[in-house]
A and B are shown apart, each in its own frame.
Chain A
């Protein structure tokens, strides 16, 4: 491991690699500029789809980056917690609340808020319990042990979803009309896209404020920077780690609902989306909160441009491209877009 890191450092040190990286980045940007002038309206419309999906990826990516910041652990189970929360949300919406396409707007809004009021605390607890059961006993074990356990937890959560919901996709009727909310020139934003931001933006604002300003948030940042010194300043480290998992779990629950409203969810949805979100977190600089959201926006746009513009490899290649970005990030800029700012410093 250490030699691999050293080798990577040597590779990084060579200016040739930097030059190749810049050349790649430059050619992609140039291509985007060309595409923009070819058909600005279409470019912007596709970009809006990208940013919308990016906002959803961002919520999941934050869960990875929060946990990594504080434990240096990649919590592979996070994507599956997200998917399970989406499935549970579908049950609540359809079977418990009985919302349908003809339900009035007020009841839809209230119903969705009620769903969040159930799934956020529920999956906050699920996530924190995973930490207590699976990761806490390994706190002082080699890091690899916790990492393998995280992969195991991912399978367990995925199989719980499979046992409860089977292999079929779950979806909800489109409560939020796909009619145009904004229509300027040829640029169109539909209500169902816009609604994503009505949920995601307040959640991000509250989370940022929580981490920056509250007593618990300060504790999280302190533990992320120096666990031992935090303990000696009277911070209960175990409790702070639990709070972090609670926060990550409730963000996953929000993401699960938003995703369900846009697409459909199955037991294995979290696997791929988890990898995409993890890529976003690495791209932005793992451990960095702003970076996770930024990285997710970039990945969302890459996906959208690849699938929505002409002259691209097309949808079949999206995964390859996203994971190509993961590899390219690790080779050309392992510290991510936002560089070496310490965990949760942002």
Chain B
């Protein structure tokens, strides 16, 4: 199946087996350009496994994933980042022993060109590039709500700031698709509301497409335009937030049979 031009990502029958366990069971999934799509489902439904197949951590047993009209199955993670897939992690994975700005610069790694030799002899091009990169890193940090503390170690920043830094780092890879893995985990109601608004703002201003995994239903219903529900590795429902809220199978999956009524 060729990627329809209005879809940024098209997953076709993506299947991943670990021994006898089917983690994702022939998932069909599309993400329209410029949309905010959520992937939800009970624990162990295969959400993170699916994420990991998009980013190249796992290679699907069968099926195809076409991103921006390029087949990504079999490509190494760094090559997929170069194509334009940026992500954050469920349990924050910043480089704790690097400063905030260094974390963002690492995110820019694949967009910069300084090689070993040219970095050491400091060609004018490398110098210009490094200066530009630092400037852009500062802008990005400020944009993501971190106007100060750029030179502090990431590990010493407060939790909320670490979450913001993760987004800044992901944005530094210049993604077309931003994957957010439970971005509001551990946030209070206020922070969650602010973050939700921020996701919208980023999508609009940076012309991004967003895919998020989220447990907080308020966030999911509030921010996403389309929702896909997984259970036991298979898609059980797909639709707008209103359709999903009314879907009996979804209610069953979340609350159990018998309580659906």
Interface residues, chain A, with chain B CB atoms under 8 Å away? 206, 210, 214-216, 218-219, 221-222, 225-226, 228-237, 243, 246, 341-342, 344-345
B92's nearest neighbour on chain A, judged by CB, is A229
A216 touches B95 (CB 8 A): no
Knowing A233-B81, A341-B97, say if A219 contacts B106 (CB, 8 Å): yes
Contact call B78/A218, Cβ cutoff below 8 A:
no
Q: How far is the CB of A248 from chain B (nearest CB, A)?
A: 13
Q: Is B116 a contact of A226 with CB atoms below 8 Å? A: no
Task: Give chain B residues whose Cβ lies under 8 Å from the Cβ of A218.
Answer: 98, 102, 105-106, 109
| New A-B contacts (18) at CB < 8 Å, excluding given A222-B106, A234-B109 | A214-B114, A215-B112, A215-B119, A216-B119, A218-B109, A219-B106, A222-B95, A228-B77, A228-B93, A229-B93, A231-B77, A231-B78, A232-B81, A233-B170, A234-B110, A235-B78, A342-B96, A344-B97
Which chain B residues in 167-182 approach chain A with CB under 8 Å? 169-170, 173
Please give, as numbers and ranges, the residues of chain A lying within 8 Å of B219 by CB-CB distance.
Answer: none
A234 touching B81 in the complex, CB below 8 Å, given contacts A218-B106, A225-B96, A342-B96: yes
For A237, the chain B residues whose CB sits under 8 A away are 78
Q: How many residues of B sit at the interface, in one of the four size bands?
A: 20 to 34
Q: A218-B102, A225-B97 are in contact. Are A234 and B82 (CB under 8 A)?
A: yes
Contacts A206-B120, A210-B120, A214-B120; A232 near B109 (Cβ below 8 A):
no
Residues of B close to A230: CB separation below 8 A: 95, 106
Closest to B98 in A: A221
Cβ contact within 8 Å between B89 and A229: yes
A216 near B114: Cβ-Cβ < 8 Å = yes
- Check B116 against A232 for contact (C-beta < 8 Å): no
CA separation between A216 and B95, bound complex, in Å?
15
User: Is B107 close to A, CB under 8 A?
Assistant: yes
Across-interface contacts of A235 in B (CB, < 8 A): 78, 106, 109-110
Instruction: Say which residue of B77, B97, B115 sits within 8 Å of A232 (CB atoms).
Output: B77
Q: How far is the CA of A234 from the CA of B170 in the complex (A)?
A: 10
CB-defined contacts of A221 to chain B, threshold 8 Å? 95, 97-98
Task: Out of B116, B130, B173, name the residue touching A233 (CB < 8 Å).
Answer: B173
In the assembly, what is the distance between CA of A270 and CA of B260, in Å?
73
B15 partner residues in chain A, CB cutoff 8 A: none
Residues of A within 8 A of B82 (CB): 234
Q: Which residues of A contact B97 (CB under 8 A)?
A: 221, 225, 341-342, 344-345
Q: Mark B83-110, 1 if CB is under 8 A from A, else 0.
A: 0000101000101111000100111011
Tell me, in angstroms, the Cα distance from A234 to B82 when the chains sit together: 6
